[in-house]
């Protein structure tokens, strides 16, 4: 299978199924067997996933991408052994990061709900018009791109998490902030957005926000 087939959903599914790490292998960059350069898409997906996982509290080193040819058997064995050791050193998914398993599943599921939107953002706003790994990494490390990811994805993720919490029961701003580990001012800003869009309403009698 071409590494260009790798999708954020595949990676999330692996972690939701309690895999401790995900290893993506593709052809060497600029040596695409199908002339589609799908391996650059894999690089983009993995780089973006690392940022998303770090944001929700997972160690981004649990995800790795490596490019090699079918003749690189020795290199493949070395890389697999190195990655396996890294995962063993990191420990079980979530608990090694100090995340409660229910909290981890909640965050991964909220992220999974955004996958169609994230695909769109990646395709329309995060495609790199160059063909070198160095430029890709430089692009994703830039302040402008990090700001873009925060505004287009991270903020949407918080909105998704708030909606998931309110689907269970009405909550106050303080309760939502505590559950999400966000500041009350940030939660207030997001609740304002959801209110304007007609997704949530404020119950004056109970002093709680609820699904509209």
| Residue 137 pLDDT | 87
Place of tokens 């409660």: 100
User: Do residues 148 and 125 make contact, with C-beta atoms less than 8 angstroms apart?
Assistant: yes
| Residue 9 pLDDT | 94
| Residue 128 pLDDT | 79
Query: Model pTM?
Result: 0.88
Average pLDDT over residues 41-55: 93
| Residue 2 pLDDT | 85
Mean confidence (pLDDT) of the chain: 92
Rounded to 5°, the CA angle 179-21-41 comes to 95
Q: At what angle do helices 8-16 and 38-56 cross, to 10 degrees?
A: 40
| Residue 4 pLDDT | 84
Q: Compare 10 and 37 and report the one with higher pLDDT.
A: 10
| Residue 199 pLDDT | 96
Which strand (E) or helix (H) includes residue 210?
Answer: strand 208-211
Instruction: Give 178-197 pLDDT, tens digit per residue.
Output: 999 899 999 999 999 999 99
Domains by residue range for the chain, with CATH: 3-152 (no CATH), 169-212 (1.10.10.10)
Place of tokens 């689907």: 167
**What percent of the chain is helix, strand and coil (3-state, nearest 5)?**
65, 10, 25
* Bridge partners of residue 22, in order along the sequence: 63
């Amino acid at each position: 299978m071409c590494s260009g087939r790798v999708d954020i959903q595949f990676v999330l599914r692996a972690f939701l199924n309690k895999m401790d790490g995900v290893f993506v292998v593709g052809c060497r960059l600029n040596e695409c067997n199908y002339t589609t350069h799908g391996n650059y898409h894999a690089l983009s997906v993995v780089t973006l996933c690392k940022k998303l996982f770090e944001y929700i509290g997972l160690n981004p080193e649990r995800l790795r991408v490596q490019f090699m040819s079918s003749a690189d058997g020795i290199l493949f064995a070395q890389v697999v052994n190195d990655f396996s050791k890294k995962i063993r050193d990191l420990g079980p998914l979530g608990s090694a990061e100090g995340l409660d398993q229910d909290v981890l599943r909640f965050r991964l599921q909220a992220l999974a709900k955004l996958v169609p939107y994230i695909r769109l953002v990646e395709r329309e706003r995060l495609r790199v018009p160059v063909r070198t790994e160095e430029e890709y990494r430089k692009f994703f490390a830039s302040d402008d791109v990090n700001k873009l990811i925060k505004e287009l994805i991270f903020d949407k993720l918080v909105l998704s998490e708030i909606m998931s919490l309110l689907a269970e029961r009405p909550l106050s701003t303080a309760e939502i902030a505590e559950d999400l580990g966000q500041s009350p001012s940030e939660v207030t800003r997001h609740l304002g957005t959801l209110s304007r869009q007609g997704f949530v309403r404020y119950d004056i009698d109970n002093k709680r926000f609820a699904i509209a």
